[in-house]
Chains A and B, each alone.
Chain A
């Protein structure tokens, strides 16, 4: 009875072995001095040399710091928005309005970062952008939003919220449908205002989902999407906007520093793995295991 299933799964197994597990084996070059000529297995071992180089170089350290910083800012400012949006949507009684708002706020999720980045550059451009047109009208001087560290970070985090908040709200909307409507009636009979109903019924109703989502998010602290940073960064703000993924692309792939950047990638993946496993362990303790 298992034979047809095995036949079905065999190509998939091949896919995972070749494209997922073989690259994991390829991580050995983090401990080697990889050269094209010698290949992965022929290159000489150098032990932890690449890691020593990584952690003694101020530039690579600042890249790791940028990665963690931008990611944390994304979480701190980005996490509450989907919850807020879901709670607000949940209080809408007019179905056509609810549907319309949902359709529009889900939309940015489907646009690639190239599109969103292109729109950001158009809108905040120093000479022709609409925002600077208004700034000039008020203050007389345009402001180089994409070329100052502070405003660059604000735009980075803001564009992430813009793109993701609507989509992120879906999970909370699903959780909200499980709340018993009688609770609202009872609360309202007891004279609870809308605000108190949200505070005492809605929020407790989705608190476990919030906790799980937060833990999950923490598990991805080491990941700042390549596309997002790559589209927005420029050489002026590279001190704050260079992150691990863009560094690996630029220096590793384009500069052929394979071993050093693989060591960096391995460091990132390992921290990520530990974070996800820890996060899941905490979730499990709260009775909300993810797998």
Chain B
């Protein structure tokens, strides 16, 4: 069928709007990157738009030498890797029993988990519990309270329930016990969902903010989010950065260092993001169909 005039207008407008939406998501990141790579004079006069003016890596040099971003980057990596391993193990341990129709306490325990999504103790009581466990200023205060996301657990449980029961029965006939069933039948069949949940947890730990702000006191244990937040909200960033010469200060702006910090946080995510995209869409679809 030939496209009518009206359809042509429609498609043009549609493509235009979507291109605008896409660009609006991309351009701020490009702009911030350009600022981080520009010299201070251009940044001060706000003449940087989407391409660096007066290329320089000065901001990055200051960031790396003066702010402890390297340590924060390492902390982020430790927090994320250990956190994801713990959370994924715990989520499987939670979802698998609750997905078995023959598990006696299935309904009651599921309800108990769902209730925590609806109601919680809130910040202060949770803080007091974590404090009384002696977890203040240790990464346990980040990993343990966030061990299982009830939502992620429900996504995985729903997926487990949807697996064909014939395979399970066949495995049982061959003398397969509960452990082997989980390890050799159920988990291998769930790799895309597991990948999606891994990504969700990883993003959560990588971006962890409020918990680190509240529970981690010593600056050398801070992660990048808290470090960047302090840089963004600091009024006198340059005075705080230790070990830079007075001459150098003239050549840089707080904006340059802030944007460099932002970039250092985003780039690792941008690198893994395209590879994981197909998984997370799948993951969220399962969650969307039935929570």
B90 touches A15 (CB 8 A): yes
**Residue A1, interface by CB 8 Å:** yes
A111 touches B232 (CB 8 A): no
B102 touches A118 (CB 8 A): no
B209 touches A273 (CB 8 A): no
- Assuming A16-B116, A20-B116, is B18 touching A92 (CB within 8 A)? yes
| Interface SS, A side | helix
What residues on B are CB-neighbors of A195 within 8 Å? 10
| Interface SS, B side | helix
Count of chain B residues with Cβ under 8 Å from any Cβ of A?
A: 96
Write the chain B residue with the least CB distance to A265: B122
A4 touches B22 (CB 8 A): no
What residues on A are CB-neighbors of B32 within 8 Å? 118-119, 122-123
Q: How far is the CB of B1 from chain A (nearest CB, A)?
A: 7
- Assuming A16-B113, A170-B281, A248-B122, is B29 touching A112 (CB within 8 A)? no
Q: A252-269: which have CB < 8 Å to B?
A: 252-253, 258, 261-262, 265-266, 268-269
**Residue B118, interface by CB 8 Å:** yes
A262 touches B97 (CB 8 A): no
What residues on B are CB-neighbors of A248 within 8 Å? 122-124
B258 touches A118 (CB 8 A): yes
Partner of B6, one of A9, A193, A265, A291: A193
- Assuming A104-B22, A174-B288, A248-B123, is B232 touching A117 (CB within 8 A)? yes
Q: How far is the CB of B118 from chain A (nearest CB, A)?
A: 5
Q: A22-38: which have CB < 8 Å to B?
A: 22-27, 29
**Residue A127, interface by CB 8 Å:** yes
* Interface residues in chain B, defined as those with a beta carbon under 8 Å from any beta carbon in chain A: 1, 4, 6-7, 10-11, 14-15, 17-19, 21-26, 28-29, 31-32, 35, 43-44, 46-49, 90, 93-94, 96-98, 100, 102-104, 109, 112-114, 116, 118-130, 133, 144-145, 147-148, 177-179, 203, 206-207, 209-210, 214, 225-226, 228-229, 231-233, 253, 255, 258-259, 261-262, 265-266, 269, 273-274, 277, 280-281, 284-285, 288-289, 291
What residues on A are CB-neighbors of B43 within 8 Å? 128
A123 touches B228 (CB 8 A): no
B94 touches A9 (CB 8 A): yes
What residues on A are CB-neighbors of B121 within 8 Å? 20, 22-27
B126 touches A19 (CB 8 A): yes
B179 touches A103 (CB 8 A): no
Q: How far is the CB of A50 from chain B (nearest CB, A)?
A: 12
CA distance A118 to B209 in the complex (A): 14
* 9 sampled A-B residue pairs with Cβ under 8 A: A5-B178, A6-B97, A8-B93, A111-B269, A114-B226, A115-B262, A170-B284, A194-B10, A258-B128
- Assuming A85-B21, A111-B266, A112-B207, is B229 touching A268 (CB within 8 A)? no
A101 touches B123 (CB 8 A): no
**Residue A107, interface by CB 8 Å:** yes
**Residue A190, interface by CB 8 Å:** no
What residues on A are CB-neighbors of B19 within 8 Å? 101
What residues on A are CB-neighbors of B179 within 8 Å? 4
Write the chain A residue with the least CB distance to B127: A253
CA distance A89 to B15 in the complex (A): 9
- Assuming A5-B97, A117-B232, A269-B120, is B26 touching A104 (CB within 8 A)? yes
B104 touches A252 (CB 8 A): no
CA distance A195 to B10 in the complex (A): 8
What residues on A are CB-neighbors of B17 within 8 Å? 88
